[in-house]
Structure 1
Amino acid sequence: MEDQVSDSEGLIRPLLVAPFDPEAPYGQHSRPFNFYKYGKKQGHSLGLLSFRSLARDVKNLIMGLRKIANRRAIIISGLNPFWVLFFTLLVKTLNFFGRQERKAIIDLHGSVFHENINYGWKIRAYFYFFPEFISLQLADLIIFASRELKKFSTEAFRLSGKRGRVVENGTNRPKVESEKMAEKALQESIDRKETKIIIMVAPRNSHSNVLAVLRAQDVMELLKDESELVLIILGGGETLDFVPENTKYLGHVSDSVYHALHDLADLAIAPYPPEAVCGGARNKILDYWIHGILLVSTREGTRGIEEAKPGTNFLLSDSDPESFAQSILGALEMGETEKEKIRKSAQDLARRKYLWKEKSKNFFQIIENETCY
């Protein structure tokens, strides 16, 4: 395996601890996956400890602990707060008993405490507060997915601003054979003259996405008489009840099919109600933009993306089903020149500031400067 290295080599290599398997075709966590992918391409001697593999058996656990012991910079990304705390404490314990100093770096995508407070789940929120508080206090460096997340975390967890940096989420657009792959994924022929495809990426492993999907289904039920419209929902998790006939769940798809479906979409939606708070930023919005898809979103949908301007990069809608349904119809009825202006503005923004390869350079430059790995 590529991340099995000698101890002497491991001493100068950062190690990424993240919940994805580079060999698995589906269900990648976009942020750590892309940092790993582009970090390797950019020449960083980056090791990987896949937490999915680590959890399988005792042998993998022992090998994983050995990898951590042999490295000076440990990057923890995309894990549950309790596992973040576990690995942070492990690094600090090894430092206490060992002869070399290791840096615990937390790549923070969001705050479960923040999200649950907004859902009104106070007991559950404070259940997560303490592991988040302790791990962030112990971390040598914290990288936040948005400035808003940094501001909230600094205030809520009483952090020193000196230990926090911001690297936003990113996007990319590989070349794929869109028509053929999309038709295969849908298991039917797509008549582009008759069908308007609306796309929504929403894995049902977070409460905010579940709320958005429920809202989307209500919207599509209101649009059931618009026979040319079909909503495609991407992402894993259970299919929710009472699915309208004009809504299709595709679950996890390969990266190539994911991008192929984006290439064919006429519209993207992000119908997140105000209570569907995301602790960081939604990189799915950037994916819509890089593909040049016109986006209808609530204000909550574009949370964490500071440059997102209604009427310039996307169309803003109220979150109630009736208003959102009308916003969809209004977007589809817009003149082509007006739609193209918004699509191009959003795409230019994504290309200029939010490419994963550039975010990866920034990410590892910060880590190198702060930890001298």
Structure 2
Amino acid sequence: MDSIIFFIFYTMLVLFTIYTIKRKKIISNYVLIFNIWWLFWLLISFLNLGNFYAIDLKTYLYIYAGLFSFNITILIRKKNSSKEYNYVKPYLLTILLVIEIVYLFINIFYFYKMSNTVNMFEEYWKVRFVYFGIPIDNITITLFNTSISGHIYNAFKMFNLINFLISLTELESKNSKRFILVVVNMFLFSLFSAGREFINYIIIVSIYAFKKKLISKYFKFILIMCLVVLMMTYLREGSLSKVYMALITYFSGSISYFDYLMKVDDGIRYTGELLLSSVIAPAKMVLRFLGVSIGNSGMSDVGMKLMKMVKLSDTNSFTNYYNALATSFYWQFKDFGLAGIIGINFSIGLLYNYLYRTIKGDYGIVLFSYLEFLMILSIFSFKFMDLYSVFPIILIILLIKYNGETMKDIK
């Protein structure tokens, strides 16, 4: 019976996706890629290709509640904007480029520092530990001297993302300088962090190319970034033989992890503190610094729980343990329960509906690509509670909509 119920909702989501394809253009259809993404990983999870422990139907129903709450907003019809945004003032683009150049020197410094801390040729596995300050043999070595320096670095990394988004429009006019600089910076960052952030950029550029119907034109750029990801995977794992199972484990494992956390839920709800954590958490940190006695933030409490490794499988060939990534629905559930999953995703859908109706043009497509990327990441976490994820949305809108001389009538 559980299987039948699962596939009833699955079929409903497939049919709704097909309906939106017929009703909406690719550019303005903000649920299409999101639905295809989730339909794929829901099927992988249900077929249990990762050999995880059995998942309760209730967990899948929570996920479906979030998916349909977001989807239903696309049915809301209001008048579209008649303005197109294809222009950003040159001096603003120059300022962003200067920030990217400064970021290059910062990355060179941290790459040099990491190289002198870890033998990157023989002990590359230590790089990730040093970057995050995780103890090795009870000894903690950190790349960033203070938490403030870490936040400053993340701010530059955020502007790297903004420059990357802007560079997508410049590539069409064969201006690749900004793009090359961004890629070099991300390559350096990946080397001294052992991260796979290039995957995020691959997803964004793929969405942009898909919406612009320019897949063939952007293919070489996507290929270059894919090669970097494979190289980073080889450095981290020492082999490429486990890439397939690594992908299955990371993506479908988050659904299994969400299921585990629902089964051991402590009943605590944070009533919006997680959703507003980018404001509340820093405020509590400042108050503690000033000597005010105040408890940990909800983000800190939940984050500590998610750091604990838990066993999700006995036979997964990549790893039997998982942590950290519990889908966006878990964070929403910890705030308001099922009402949070439904209400928050519906609200995000309303925001997307408004933005997709009122912003047009090349920079609009850039913004949409990033917005849809954030929803794809819902399989891992809830990015709308992260200031570094939300700020690029605000800045891009300001750049294209409120700097004057930005609009032209669509004929």
TM value normalised by structure 1: 0.23
More strand by share: 1
More helix by share: 2
TM value normalised by structure 2: 0.22
